[in-house]
Amino acid sequence: MPNLRFTEKALSEWMQGTASDSDIVISSRVRIARNLQHLPFPLLATRQQSEEVLNRLANVPEDQEIMSLGTFYTIKLDEIEPIDKKVLVEKHLISPSLANESQNGAVMISEDESVSIMINEEDHLRIQCLYPGFQVREAWEKATSIDDLFEAEVDYAFDDKRGYLTSCPTNVGTGLRASVMMHLPALVMTQQINRILSAVSQVGLTVRGIYGEGSEAIGNLFQISNQITLGQTENEIIDNLHSVVLQIIEHEKNARTQLINDSRLRITDRIKRSYGILSYAEIMDSKEAGQRLSDVRLGIDLGIVQGPSVPMMNELNVMTQAGFLQKKYGHDMNSEERDIYRAKLIRETLAKA
C-alpha cells in the first residue's frame, strides 16, 4: 500500500523552518527538468517505454550517496486516490500535470518533504527542492547535488549546442526553473503591484499564481521565476532572480511602512475585521479565505495581531484548499459544503491560538 503520510498533514516539516525575509518570501524552490537519452518524451512514450523510465529512475535513490541525503518514499500515482493526488498538488509536492495527465507517473519524496523527484511528468525526471524563506541559492545547491547523483547513474538527453533537451522548448538549455513565493499585500494595497510586476517581466522573469503557470495569485501570493533557460548559465539565472527578489522585498517593506505612516488606523481596522470574520464566519469561499488570511498574516508581521503564528497561517493556506478539506473530513463535497467546512476549520484553528 502506498505511503500516504504526506497527505495526512497540511504543514510540511521544511515549512516550519525560518530564514531571512520570511515575512515576505514564503518559500524558495528550484526545479530541474531532465530526460533520458534514446527514449521518447513522456507525451509521446508508449506505456512500456514510460514503465522503463520509471523502473530505471526509481532505483537510483537506492544508491548510497543519495541515501545519505535522507530517506525517500516512492509513490506511484496510479496506486493512490484522486483526493490524495489533489492534496499532493496543494502541498506543491507534485505538479497538476503529474496528478492529472501522467502515464506511469511517480514521485519520490524526502522525509521532511523538502525534496520531491517527479517521474514521467512533462519530462522523464523533475527534481524539486523547497526551502523556507529566501534561500534560492541553498535550494539550487541541493538540487544540483541530487542532479549530479542521477547523472552518474543514467544518460541524460543532452546536445552540445542546445544543452539539456526537454519536452517543452522553454525549458531547453539548463532545464532550470528557480522561483520564490512572495507575500506582497502592501504593494497590492498601495496599487504599486502592476508597475513592479511589469518591471519584473522586462528582466527575463515571469510572475505566476501559487500553483504555477495558468494559476491565479490568490491571497496576495505571487510566484516569481526565471523565464529564460537557454543562453544563460545556472548561476546567472539564480543570481538574476536573487537580485530582483531583493529589490521586490525592499519595495514591499517600503509599502508596508507607507501604510503604517499614512493609514495606520485604516489598515489596523482592515486586519482586525478580517481576523474577526475568520474567527466567527459560518461560510467562507476559497478566494475570501485567501484574502483574509493574507490580511491576518500582514497583521502578524506588523505586530497588530497577537496569538496566531506565521506557521499557522502557512498551515491554513493548505488546509483550506478543496482537496485537503475533503481529505480531512473524509468525504466528497460540493462547493457550498466546502465553504461551510472551510469556515469551520478556520474557526477551530484560530480558537487554538
**HSE toward the beta carbon, residue 140, CA cutoff 13 A:** 20
**HSE toward the beta carbon, residue 180, CA cutoff 13 A:** 31
Residue 123 near residue 37, CB atoms below 8 Å? no
Closest CA to 69 of 178, 155, 148, 137: 148
Query: What's the CA gap between 348 and 165, in Å, rounded?
Result: 49
The C-alpha cell at 128 is 524539486
Query: What's the CA gap between 351 and 168, in Å, rounded?
Result: 47
- Can you say whether the dihedral through the CA atoms of 119, 122, 123, 125 is positive or negative? negative
The C-alpha cell at 245 is 527578489
Non-local (6+) Cβ contacts of 5 within 8 A are 73
DSSP secondary structure code for residue 209 in this structure: B
In the annotated binding site, the residues are 27-31, 92, 126, 177-181, 208-213
Residue 200 near residue 207, CB atoms below 8 Å? yes
Burial of 127 (0-12, 13-18, 19+ CB in 10 A): buried
Query: What's the CA gap between 279 and 300, in Å, rounded?
Result: 15
The C-alpha cell at 144 is 544540483
Task: Classify the phi-psi angles of 59: left when phi > 0, otherwise alpha if psi is within -120 to 50, otherwise beta.
Answer: alpha
Non-local (6+) Cβ contacts of 239 within 8 A are none
**HSE toward the beta carbon, residue 50, CA cutoff 13 A:** 20
In the annotated binding site for ATP, the residues are 27-31, 92, 126, 177-181, 208-213
Residue 242 near residue 30, CB atoms below 8 Å? no
The C-alpha cell at 275 is 481576523
